[in-house]
Structure 1
Amino acid sequence: MSNIDIDKPRYDQSTYTGRAKHFLQLTNPLNILATNKQLDEAKHIVDEFRKTRKLPPGYDEDKLWASKYLYDSAYHPDTGEKMFVLGRMAAQAPMNTIITGCMITFYKTTRATVFWQWVNQTFNAAVNYTNRSGDAPLSMTQLVASYCAACGGALTTALYLNSKVKNMKNPLYARLVPFAAVCGANFINIPMMRSGEIINGTPVFTADGDRIGDSRHAAVYGITLVCLSRVLMAVPGMTLTPVLTNAALRRGILGARAVAPFQLALVGLCVTFATPMCCALFEQRASLPVGSLDSHLKEVVEKKYDNVKEVYFNKGL
């Protein structure tokens, strides 16, 4: 019998370093290249190990954990369903490299602004829905309404800011509009795409894994943490890149034709590391004091779990 506990992350999640190591493997862009056969095999290995607690033939601890991280990158932690490939966190680096690079390159015309903000919010909506917390489904009506509100908020923010900076002398302000629009849109897109959790609550558990019920307060708290980490995730690529591009153009280091490839390369570098680093800012298995729970859940805890001081839940990504 093996004493490896694959139901917990391999690295200590109480430290930032441990969380960073965890998310570096979970968000590895190479994970999206795995075939369905490889994902099914990883799932089989994980399921069998959970049942038998024995390493499969030909497997050592490192190989088992590689299968577990591949499994975790593709299967939802609450529902166990295989996630849409572009909605997985492993797709963040390559997709955001392309989308962010285009947003900060093609920002001068209204048509380009609308198109790339729409593409970005459509992608973000897919990511936010795919990585939602809990196991309650979101109705098609809620999904469409949330998507329209998220896209509308992002486009309105971007167009409004563009109109304000159009006549400013410093071109850097215009280059930073996509970042400001993305920041504002994140606080619309994420709550809207996860509105089912806000309305119905997200599952909360004791430290031993007993499900207490569904908490709306936990959902709001978890979504707030995700909004903050997503905004910070966008900071390096969407601020450092325009600043360096503007400086390079002003000094004549970059020619007009080199701007797009330079920005794509820099955004790609930033996003690849910013994704796991910002995911690691907060524990995915978040905690909430019992005193901050919804009133009906406080009563449940007082009656059944009088020694419990905190509850735990998956905040999503």
Structure 2
Amino acid sequence: MAGRIDLDKPRYDQSTYWGRAQHYFEVTDPRTILASNAELDAAKNLLDLYREKKEPAGTTEEQVWHAKKLYDSAFHPQTGEKNFFAGRMSCQVPGNMLITGAMMVWYRSNPAQILLQWANQSFNAIVNYTNRNASSNITNEMLAQAYFLATGSSCVVAVGLNKMIARSPTLSKGIIGRFVPLIAVASANCVNIPLMRQVELKEGIMVADKDGNELGKSKNAAVAAVSQVIPSRVLMAVPSMGLTPVVMA
């Protein structure tokens, strides 16, 4: 190889939008969830050897990058543990497609909405737990609190809106009912995210200078981060749950 790859840095330039987009295309590539345990272990082993400069002769850069892609998709970056497949970022697209599709089809059914809102929050809880900050002091009790309150809020909103729409002849004939799943999911995010990040909000998050030197913890930075994540999570659902009703109508 012409030069050594820095395995601690992404493959693509993170100072550009396209570089960041390429990075997240790889992180969320659903094809990586099809990799077997043997393939994942082989990728980890190759990276371990590469860090020690003991990789097999003839190993190419592309092989190293592919191994890094598989490793990053399946192993926790802090603990090094293999993540449960449903909690991997590569499972986000197919997992959310199934749940969202079902929500949009059975939007009028309260039992279906309760079941699907529960499934959605359970899926989110798995993802949040799998990709948790290993150094965070958040407890299992806090995670359970966030899970049950988010699930409860989404179910209450979904059922309440459906009943309100059913009582109105005007609303029941329109497409407003198709937006119930989106509103329910948005309400759950407003509850779930602050609760999931309550430790950071109370204690602050570590901030660093441009050279990576840690300066200390900041509560203001934590508040800013959470206040940006909530609308971004809501907006992420808009293309599939906000535009679909218009198309289906």
TM-score class, shorter: 0.7 to 0.9
Q: How does 1:83-102 map to 2 (within 5 A)?
A: 83-102=83-102
Q: CA deviation at 1:215?
A: 3.8
- Contact kept, 8 Å, 2:110 with 2:158, in 1: the verdict is no
CA offset at residue 143 of structure 1?
1.8
| Alignment check: 8 A CA contact 1:134 1:202 kept | no
Would you say the 8 A contact 1:125–1:193 is kept in 2?
Answer: no
1:226 pairs with 229, 236, 244, which one? 229
- Residue 186 of structure 2, aligned match among 163, 183, 186: 183
Structure 1 8/164 Cα, relative in aligned 2: closer, same or farther at 3 Å?
Answer: same
Give CA deviations for 1:20-57 in whole Å, capped at 9, x if unaligned: 111111100111122222222222222332333x7643
Query: What's the TM-score, normalizing by structure 2?
Result: 0.87
Structure 1, unaligned runs of 5 or more: 247-317
1:124-135 to structure 2, matched below 5 A, reads 124-133=124-133, 135=135
Is contact 2:103-2:181 (8 Å) kept?
yes
- Higher normalized contact order (CA 8 Å, seq sep 6+, divided by chain length): 1
| Cα distance in 1, alignment partners of residues 226 and 115 from structure 2 | 27
* 1:127-166 matched pairs, under 5 angstroms: 127-133=127-133, 135-166=135-166
- 1:24 match: 25
* Matched residue, 1:271: none
After TM superposition, the structure 1 stretch with the greater mean CA deviation from structure 2, 154-163 or 201-210, is 201-210
- Give the structure 1 partner of residue 201 of structure 2: 198
Q: Work out the number of aligned pairs and report it.
A: 245
Letter in structure 1 aligned against 2:220 = H
Is contact 1:205–1:213 with CA below 8 Å preserved after alignment?
Answer: yes
The letter for the 2-side match of 1:183 is A
In the aligned structure 2, how far is the partner of 1:50 from the partner of 1:218? 34
User: Over aligned residue pairs, what C-alpha RMSD do you find?
Assistant: 2.3
Residue 111 of structure 1 deviates from its aligned partner by 1.2
List per-residue Cα deviations over 1:106-144 (Å, max 9, x = no partner). Answer: 121221111111111111122223233452253222122
What is the alpha-carbon distance in structure 1 between the residues aligned to residue 154 and residue 134 of structure 2?
26
Q: Any stretches of 5+ residues in structure 2 without a counterpart?
A: none
Give the alignment's TM-score, normalised by structure 1.
Answer: 0.70
